[in-house]
A = this chain, B = another copy of it.
């Protein structure tokens, strides 16, 4: 049986557009002589639609278009995800559903049984769980159909299981010839490997070939990596789609042969590719074409600008330097050099006159009081005002440039450097910011050496000036300021933050990792106290297992005695 894994990038809510994309791919599959084409979970409405699911008319429309797709399945089997209504008198009104259609008819419907409700997932908010396996015959083969989380509860793979039930185990008892899993499983840096290991564990256990078709694309904070994959019954990869782009791969499941397309070669490359896709989809799906980035000459804004250029093209990025009296000449030079390397438009708008005018306005009220963090924040907020004015006047989206270590500790100014439509690297810890910067500089050099097409319109050997990477991090909001005046060194800070935020460890556990107790307490206190800032932060692009934002829901007014 020839099967096409159709890894599409749906637009949330755009049922007409997504349906057209599905139909186009069905036609393509017919031309390729495929017997069966498989689309991702909820591909008709896009994942996650969140509370759009509460619009009844939109659900009706999705069902109407699902039926339209069914009518276009002459001569080919089609599996796709959509949302179905629960006709029951009680329970949630919807199912996270899939259809297998053939020759214009619905052959089987399936309702997802395990509904993830943790981190960024809220499926119990909308869906009633299904309670029936889905096994059907097609062209002489017995096929089991599952949706995403349904296969994430194997008792041999997981030490702790969230669900009592294992739908996969139930379906395996029917001895299907192969298992299909359609998913909308977002990327995180460590998940790719875990997921592949889990798939292999399942396949080896049941000795049944396995096909996963995953959504691709950026939807607000979430980046779906695609990377659809097929294994033979020995857990050998027999087909694989690319990551971070739409792709179709053919697999012949009986012959155990299929296309294998290239994927990211390292973790850091996958983060890089994820961020490019996240930027591109957020900017364009929000209806923007161009972006503006404040360039301080520091590594965070430099990295953000490179990512923006490699994602959107240099013609769509404006860099703005906004020096104050505390900005060193080398910072302006570094920003300018970066802009030249990236061939982007570059403006310098000093904030000193505005800063002085504002201080004069406030001098009566602040009489007799020393300058402090207030005046630092004033500067950051003037810069925000300038960037937002550019956004308003020209219709550019502001990309904010803060990293995760800053956002975690509150080392950032609300309505200041936190301002923007998208916080590109605010789930990237500072130490990973350096990794990405070095990755970018090395890849560019390698490409230059090999004389290959370059990922951005860059001629210099190092895109990010060495000085940007080498110098000590500073906010330059007062004389001789260094990040290390306020924060521990990032090599120490970042593992503490990861332990606390991603791994949910308590103080004692973190101390046991080898950190000084008072330092751990200080860091945790900084994180807890700055929750109010994060709740007003721009959407971030999630790349770690626990990003700030939607997937980490903390009260602001609370008190914990450690």
Contact = CB atoms under 8 A, between A and B. Distances in A.
Interface string A537-548: 111000000000
A285 B220 contact: no
Interface string A124-154: 1100000000000000000000000000010
A459 B197 CA distance: 73
Interface string A350-375: 11011001101110011001001110
Nearest to A504: B54
A349 B358 CA distance: 10
Interface stretch (A22-30, A45-53, A203-211, A330-338): A45-53
A89 B559 CA distance: 31
Contacts of A365: 347, 349, 390, 393
A320 to B, nearest CB: 9
A536 interface: yes
A50 B535 contact: no
Interface in A176-218: 218
Contact of A374 (B58, B381, B392): B392
A389 B350 CA distance: 20
A557 interface: yes
Contacts of A358: 354, 382, 385-386, 389
Given A349-B365, A539-B535, A11 B559 contact: yes
A538 B539 contact: no
A414 interface: yes
Contacts of A11: 558-559
Contacts of A393: 365-366, 369, 372, 374
What are the nearest 5 A-B pairs in CB distance? Answer: A285-B557, A124-B124, A12-B558, A374-B392, A90-B161
A554 B51 contact: yes
Interface of A: 11-17, 46, 48-52, 54-58, 88-93, 117-118, 122, 124-125, 153, 160-164, 218-220, 281-282, 285-286, 347, 349-351, 353-354, 357-358, 360-362, 365-366, 369, 372-374, 377-378, 381-382, 384-386, 388-390, 392-393, 414-415, 419, 421, 504, 506, 508, 532, 535-539, 550, 552-561
7 contacts: A52-B558, A55-B560, A349-B361, A381-B415, A385-B415, A536-B536, A536-B537
Given A14-B561, A52-B560, A381-B415, 15 more contacts: A49-B555, A51-B552, A57-B508, A58-B560, A90-B163, A91-B164, A92-B162, A122-B125, A124-B125, A220-B556, A282-B557, A347-B365, A349-B362, A353-B360, A414-B419
Contacts of A163: 90-91
A408 B365 CA distance: 35
B415 A384 contact: yes
Given A13-B558, A118-B125, A554-B50, A378 B374 contact: no
Nearest to A356: B357
Contact of A532 (B50, B286, B377, B386): B286
Number of identical protomers: 2
A101 B54 CA distance: 42
A415 B421 contact: no
Nearest to A357: B357
A384 B386 contact: no
A555 B392 contact: no
A540 B84 CA distance: 34
A493 to B, nearest CB: 20
Contacts of A539: 535, 556
A392 B373 contact: yes
Contacts of A219: 555, 557
A55 B506 contact: yes
A188 B535 CA distance: 23
A559 B13 contact: yes
A125 B118 CA distance: 5
A220 B389 contact: no
